[in-house]
Chains A and B, each alone.
Chain A
Amino acid sequence: DVKVTQSSRYLVKRTGEKVFLECVQDMDHENMFWYRQDPGLGLRLIYFSYDVKMKEKGDIPEGYSVSREKKERFSLILESASTNQTSMYLCASISSTYEQFFGPGTRLTVL
């Protein structure tokens, strides 16, 4: 059974804290993605990675960075969390037939 897992389902952080969201996939996929989902805005791409140590900005990268040290793991980093980063964060990886597999999501609240 293919799987994408995320480190936390719910997270509450304070403004200014550094936040790490971890994502692991066990399908040996090369491409991995981080999205955020906000009401009325759909899924928006933050960053993606097509190989270890490679990263590309998505549509809304400001305030975020990423790390891909191993093929199976793709981390999203909020260097200094702000209240406008309160959102649902979804990680995904993509197969060779371009089907995306999503993790369960992390609902982050920044106070």
Chain B
Amino acid sequence: ILNVEQSPQSLHVQEGDSTNFTCSFPSSNFYALHWYRWETAKSPEALFVMTLNGDEKKKGRISATLNTKEGYSYLYIKGSQPEDSATYLCAFLKGNEKLTFGTGTRLTIIP
């Protein structure tokens, strides 16, 4: 079983502050790295699919970077809002079309 680790496990951030968290994954046989947002009582929703070393993706106030050589990705949220409260999952795709998920970072925004 591949090891995909996310840190921290949980995070409390004041509204308006920026934050970031980490996903680390095996650096060999890399195919893609996914980020998902999972709000309570909803389905996980895809944020980014990243495939190239050095990739940077952005969606509104959320962005992500990718380093495939050292096996990590960062997710950044700028100016956190209450609606950003969710669990953020990363998932590693090794090329056999099976995603291996991390345990997630649970983000709570404090108004």
Residues of A at the B interface (CB closer than 8 Å) are 4, 31, 33, 35, 40-45, 48, 50, 58-59, 90, 94, 97-105
Contact = CB atoms under 8 A, between A and B. Distances in A.
Chain A interface helix/strand/loop/mixed: strand
A45 B103 contact: no
Contacts of B45: 102
B34 A100 contact: yes
Interface string B51-82: 00000000000000000000000000000000
A94 B103 contact: no
10 contacts: A35-B101, A42-B101, A42-B102, A42-B103, A43-B101, A45-B99, A58-B98, A101-B43, A102-B44, A102-B45
A98 B93 contact: yes
B94 to A, nearest CB: 11
A4 B102 CA distance: 22
B97 interface: yes
Nearest to B93: A98
Contacts of B102: 42
Nearest to A41: B103
B103 A100 contact: no
A74 to B, nearest CB: 14
A35 B104 CA distance: 15
A52 to B, nearest CB: 16
Contacts of A101: 43, 46
A35 B44 CA distance: 12
B97 A98 contact: yes
B88 to A, nearest CB: 12
A46 to B, nearest CB: 11
